[in-house]
C-alpha cells in the first residue's frame, strides 16, 4: 500500500485494536487503552489480550483473529519477542497501519536489527504501514484519539509535531499543557523502521488540521526523500526542526580539503537551507516560534512596531530586532499624528512608541490599534513593566480585544515580571496572544517566522542543467584505477576526468623519465611545471615535490632529478609513478571547488577561497548536488570570495559564469559517478569576465 494512504488510516482509523491491553494500572497496555477511551475516540476499540475478560467495560479479544469486523489500526504493546507474530496476525486480518510501542529492536543491537528487517518484510507483504517500534505512540487531536502512553492529551491546535525522542515528547506535552500550546498531531517516530520523518512530513503537509510542522530529529533516514518532501510542503506550511547530535559524530578522517572543512553536521545545515526548512538552535526556540504562529498569521515583512511603558526594555527590544534581521518600522505620518494627539506630550510617538510609565490600558489600546492598522508595520511587540500606575490585567484584556479587531498581523506581548503577571498571562494566552518574560525570545520568534517566509519565497523549482560530457573517458579512467587497486588518482588521471567533463584544466602529462619530461614540455609549450606523481604524497610543495616556471629542456631535466631526490629524502617509501609535466597557466584569483560525500545526503559540493591557506581562511560554502544554476550562483555569493569576484574597489569582475559552469559540471560529475568520494580542485584560477577559469590542480579519490 502507498505509505500516505496508510498514514491516512493511521490518522483517522475507523477501528483500533490495542494488542497487549491490560487491566493493571501502571502497565503501558493499560495507559494506552485508557488514553484511547479518555481522548473521546469515537471509532471501535478492540482490547486484545490472551487472558480475555473485560477492561474498562470493554470486551477483551483473545487474539486479532477473534475480531469479527474489519480492523484499521493496531497498537502493539507486548514484549518484543511476540511482536513479529502479532504483526503477521494483523497483516492476515487486513489491518492498514500498526503502531509498535514495544522497545527492544534496533536499539539493542544485531538481533533487534534483524527483527526490524522482518517487520519491513511483513509490512510489504501485507501492505501495511508501521510506526515505530520503540515509540510513545500517536495522538490526533482532531480525530480525536490518543493512542500513546503519554500522561495526558495535548490541547487541540494547529501544530503537527514529530519527535525521534519519546521522552522528550512527554516533557514537551506536559509543558505545552501549562503553556497552552495546541497540537493537531503528535507523533513519536521511534526507530523509524518503516515510516520515517519524511512520510509524516508529507502527511502533515496534506493534513488540513495542521498549519505548522515541528520536528525533533537526531538523523534522517533518507536525505533525498526528506529534501524532496520538504520542498513540496514548504510553500504552504512552515517546517521548523531541532536536529541534535551536532557534536556526536566527531571529526572524521578526510584526505581532501573539502572533506576536512565539511563538519559532520554541514550536510544537514545545507539540506535544510536548500529545501527551505528552518533550523532552530534549541527546543525553547522551536516552541517559541510555534507559540507565536499558533492562531497568528505570518508577518508579511520584517518591519516591527514596539510599544512600551519604559525606555530600557524598548532599547533592549530594538537591539534584539536589529540582531535578528528585523527592522524598526517607520510609522506612517497618520499614525504619528494620531499618537501625538492622543498620548501625553512627553510620550515618544516614534517607534519604539513610549507611552510612559503612567500608560493606562486605553493608552495601550490606541497605540496597539494604530500600529496594527499601519501599513508600514508587519508585526507588533507590546512591552509592559509593572510600574506604580500599571494595570497589568486590564492591559492584557485590551490587547486581546485589539487582536480580535486586527487578527491578521502578529501581535506579541512581553510582560516583564513574575507574580503580578500570572493573571495577565492567562488572559493573553487564552486570548491567543503569545506572551514572553523578556524581549529577546519574542523578537527571535517573530524573526524566525519572517525568515521562513523568505526561504519559502526563495525556493525555486529550476531544472538541473545537464552538460554534454565524455562519460566513456571517465569510466575508462576509473576502471583502470580500480584495476590498479588505487584509491587516489594520479594528477594526469584527475585532470583528464575534469577535462572530459568540460572543465578548463591546465594540461598535464605523466613523464617517467627526464627524457620523456623534456618531450612533453616541448609539446605543452614552455614554461612548464613539474610535480611529483604519487598517490601517497598529498602536500607536494611541502617536501619540494613541485618546481614551477621551467623555461628550457635543461631546467626541466634538472627539476625532474631534483624532485626525485627531494622525494627520496623526505618520503623514501612513497610509491612514485613518475613526474607530472603541466602547462603553466596565468595566475588568477585562487579558488577551491571540491566535493565530499555525506552518508545521508550524498555529494556535498564546496566552493570558496583557494590556495595553500584554504584551511586557514575557511571562506567556503556548501551545496548538495545535483545543483541548479541558482544554487551555483548562491554558493559563490555566500562566500567573501564571491564579493571579491564581483570586483571591489574598481577591479574588473571575474568570469562568474565560467565559475558557475565549473561548479555545475563538478556537480554533474559527482552525481553521475558515485565512486568519486572526494574531489578537490585547488587552486582553480578565475580570470576576468569573458576569460574563463583554469583548474590548476585536481585531486580525486574513489571509494572501494
Q: Which residues, 103 to 132, sit near a copy of itself by CB under 8 A? A: 108
The reply to whether 281 sits near a copy of itself by the rule CB under 8 A is yes
Q: Which of 41, 126, 216, 673 binds a copy of itself (CB under 8 A)?
A: 216
Question: Cα–Cα distance between 516 and 579 in angstroms, integer?
Answer: 10
The grid coordinates listed for 418 are 513574575
Judged by beta carbon, residue 163 or residue 628, the one nearer a copy of itself is 163
The reply to whether 548 sits near a copy of itself by the rule CB under 8 A is no
- Which among 42, 3, 36 is positioned nearest to 19, based on CA atoms? 36
The reply to whether 291 sits near a copy of itself by the rule CB under 8 A is no
Q: Which stretch binds a copy of itself (CB under 8 A): 26-34, 460-468, 476-484, 585-593?
A: 26-34
Q: Which string of x and - marks every residue 325-354 that binds a copy of itself (by CB under 8 A)?
A: ---------------------x--------
Contact 135, 126 (CB under 8 A): no
Q: Which stretch binds a copy of itself (CB under 8 A): 246-254, 298-306, 363-371, 695-703?
A: 246-254
Q: Which of 22, 35, 165, 266 binds a copy of itself (CB under 8 A)?
A: 165
| Residue 387 C-beta: closest distance to a copy of itself, Å | 6
Q: Which of residues 559-618 bind a copy of itself (CB under 8 A)?
A: 612-613, 616-617
| Residue 126 C-beta: closest distance to a copy of itself, Å | 30
Judged by beta carbon, residue 128 or residue 356, the one nearer a copy of itself is 356
The reply to whether 316 sits near a copy of itself by the rule CB under 8 A is yes
Contact 378, 299 (CB under 8 A): yes
ω into 323 cis (within 30 of 0):
no
Q: Which of 441, 495, 540, 699 binds a copy of itself (CB under 8 A)?
A: 441
The reply to whether 134 sits near a copy of itself by the rule CB under 8 A is no
Q: Which of 54, 111, 121, 319 binds a copy of itself (CB under 8 A)?
A: 319
Q: Which of 312, 325, 549, 690 binds a copy of itself (CB under 8 A)?
A: 312
The reply to whether 25 sits near a copy of itself by the rule CB under 8 A is no
- Which among 77, 46, 11, 31 is positioned nearest to 86, based on CA atoms? 77
Q: Which of 80, 239, 310, 445 binds a copy of itself (CB under 8 A)?
A: 310
Q: Which of 125, 156, 460, 640 binds a copy of itself (CB under 8 A)?
A: 640
Q: Which stretch binds a copy of itself (CB under 8 A): 74-82, 292-300, 315-323, 554-562?
A: 315-323
Question: Cα–Cα distance between 611 and 608 in angstroms, integer?
Answer: 10
Contact 328, 362 (CB under 8 A): no
Judged by beta carbon, residue 483 or residue 539, the one nearer a copy of itself is 539
| Residue 419 C-beta: closest distance to a copy of itself, Å | 5
> In the chain, what are the helix, strand and coil shares in percent, each to the nearest 5?
40, 20, 35
The reply to whether 698 sits near a copy of itself by the rule CB under 8 A is no
- Which among 394, 373, 395 is positioned nearest to 384, based on CA atoms? 395
Question: Cα–Cα distance between 326 and 204 in angstroms, integer?
Answer: 29
| Residue 507 C-beta: closest distance to a copy of itself, Å | 27
Relative orientation angle of helices 266-274 and 223-233, to the nearest 10 degrees: 30
| Residue 412 C-beta: closest distance to a copy of itself, Å | 16
| Residue 331 C-beta: closest distance to a copy of itself, Å | 18
Give the C-alpha distances (Å, rounded to integers) separating 247 from 241, 244, 266, 620: 17, 8, 11, 20
Q: Max alpha carbon distance in the chain (Å)?
A: 100
Q: Which of 213, 421, 550, 659 binds a copy of itself (CB under 8 A)?
A: 421
Contact 49, 20 (CB under 8 A): yes
By CB under 8 A, the count of residues binding a copy of itself is 77
Q: What is the DSSP string of 124-187?
A: HHTT-EEE-SS--EEEETTTTEEEE--SS-PEEEEEEEEES-HHHHHHHHHHHHHHT-EEEEEE
β-bridge partners, 46: 17
Amino acid at each position: 500500500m502507498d505509505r500516505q494512504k496508510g498514514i491516512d488510516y493511521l490518522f483517522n482509523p475507523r477501528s483500533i485494536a490495542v494488542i497487549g491491553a491490560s487491566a493493571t494500572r501502571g502497565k503501558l497496555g493499560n495507559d494506552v487503552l485508557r488514553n484511547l477511551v479518555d481522548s473521546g475516540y469515537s471509532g471501535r476499540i478492540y482490547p486484545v489480550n490472551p487472558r480475555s475478560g473485560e477492561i474498562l467495560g470493554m470486551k477483551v479479544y483473545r487474539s486479532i483473529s477473534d475480531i469479527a469486523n474489519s480492523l484499521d489500526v493496531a497498537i502493539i504493546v507486548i514484549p518484543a519477542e511476540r511482536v513479529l507474530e502479532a504483526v503477521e496476525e494483523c497483516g492476515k486480518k487486513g489491518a492498514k497501519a500498526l503502531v509498535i510501542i514495544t522497545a527492544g529492536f534496533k536499539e539493542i543491537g544485531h538481533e533487534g536489527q534483524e527483527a526490524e528487517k522482518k517487520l519491513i518484510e511483513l509490512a510489504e507483504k501485507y501492505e501495511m504501514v508501521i510506526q515505530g517500534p520503540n515509540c510513545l505512540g500517536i495522538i490526533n487531536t482532531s480525530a480525536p484519539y490518543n493512542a500513546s502512553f503519554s500522561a495526558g492529551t495535548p490541547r487541540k491546535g494547529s501544530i503537527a509535531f514529530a519527535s525521534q525522542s519519546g521522552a522528550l515528547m512527554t516533557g514537551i506535552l506536559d509543558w505545552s499543557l501549562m503553556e497552552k500550546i495546541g497540537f493537531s498531531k503528535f507523533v513519536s517516530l521511534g526507530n523509524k523502521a518503516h515510516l520515517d520523518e519524511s512520510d509524516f512530513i508529507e502527511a502533515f503537509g496534506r493534513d488540513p488540521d495542521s498549519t505548522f510542522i515541528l520536528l525533533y530529529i537526531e538523523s534522517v533516514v533518507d536525505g533525498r526523500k526528506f529534501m524532496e518532501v520538504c520542498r513540496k510542503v514548504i510553500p504552504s506550511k512552515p517546517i521548523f526542526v531541532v536536529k541534535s547530535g551536532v557534536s556526536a559524530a566527531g571529526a572524521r578522517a578526510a584526505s581532501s580539503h573539502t572533506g576536512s572543512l565539511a563538519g559532520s553536521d554541514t550536510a544537514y545545515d545545507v539540506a535544510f537551507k536548500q529545501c527551505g526548512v528552518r533550523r532552530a538552535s534549541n527546543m525553547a526556540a522551536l516552541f517559541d516560534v510555534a507559540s507565536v504562529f499558533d492562531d497568528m498569521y505570518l508577518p508579511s515583512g520584517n518591519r516591527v512596531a514596539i510599544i512600551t511603558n519604559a525606555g530600557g526594555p524598548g532599547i533592549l527590544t530594538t537591539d534584539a530586532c536589529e540582531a535578528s534581521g528585523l527592522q524598526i518600522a517607520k510609522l506612517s505620518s497618520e499614525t504619528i499624528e494620531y499618537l501625538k494627539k492622543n498620548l501625553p506630550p512627553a510620550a515618544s510617538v516614534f517607534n519604539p512608541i513610549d507611552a510612559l510609565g503612567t500608560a493606562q490600558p486605553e493608552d495601550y489600546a490606541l497605540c496597539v490599534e494604530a500600529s496594527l492598522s499601519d501599513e508600514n508595520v508587519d508585526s507588533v511587540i507590546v512591552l509592559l513593566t509593572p510600574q506604580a500606575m500599571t494595570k497589568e490585567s486590564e492591559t492584557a484584556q485590551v490587547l486581546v480585544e485589539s487582536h480580535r479587531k486586527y487578527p491578521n498581523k502578529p501581535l506579541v506581548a512581553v510582560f516583564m515580571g513574575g507574580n503580578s503577571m500570572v493573571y495577565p498571562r492567562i488572559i493573553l494566552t487564552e486570548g491567543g496572544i503569545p506572551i514572553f518574560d523578556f524581549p529577546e525570545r519574542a523578537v527571535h520568534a517573530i524573526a524566525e517566522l519572517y525568515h521562513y517566509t523568505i526561504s519559502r519565497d526563495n525556493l525555486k523549482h529550476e531544472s538541473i542543467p545537464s552538460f554534454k560530457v565524455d562519460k566513456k573517458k571517465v569510466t575508462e579512467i576509473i576502471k583502470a584505477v580500480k584495476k590498479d587497486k588505487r584509491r587516489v588518482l594520479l594528477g594526469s588521471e584527475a585532470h583528464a576526468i575534469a577535462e572530459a567533463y568540460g572543465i578548463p584544466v591546465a594540461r598535464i602529462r605523466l613523464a617517467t623519465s627526464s627524457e620523456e619530461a623534456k618531450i612533453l614540455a616541448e609539446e605543452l609549450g614552455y614554461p612548464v611545471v613539474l610535480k611529483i606523481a604519487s598517490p601517497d604524497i598529498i602536500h607536494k610543495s611541502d617536501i619540494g615535490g613541485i618546481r614551477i616556471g621551467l623555461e628550457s629542456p635543461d631546467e626541466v631535466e634538472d627539476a625532474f632529478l631534483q624532485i626525485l631526490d627531494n622525494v627520496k629524502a623526505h618520503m623514501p617509501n612513497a610509491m612514485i609513478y613518475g613526474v607530472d609535466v603541466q602547462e603553466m597557466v596565468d595566475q588568477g584569483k585562487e579558488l577551491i571547488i571540491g566535493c565530499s560525500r555525506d552518508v545521508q545526503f550524498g555529494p556535498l559540493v564546496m566552493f570558496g577561497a583557494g590556495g595553500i591557506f584554504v584551511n586557514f581562511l575557511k571562506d567556503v560554502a556548501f551545496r548538495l548536488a545535483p545543483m541548479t544554476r541558482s544554487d551555483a550562483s548562491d554558493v559563490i555569493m555566500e562566500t567573501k570570495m564571491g564579493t571579491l569576484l564581483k570586483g571591489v574597489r574598481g577591479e574588473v569582475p571575474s568570469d562568474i559564469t565560467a565559475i558557475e559552469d565549473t561548479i555545475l559540471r563538478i556537480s554533474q560529475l559527482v552525481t553521475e559517478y558515485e565512486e568519486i568520494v572526494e574531489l578537490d580542485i585547488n587552486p582553480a584560477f578565475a580570470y576576468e569576465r569573458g576569460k574563463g577559469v583554469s583548474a590548476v590542480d585536481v585531486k580525486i579519490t574513489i571509494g572501494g
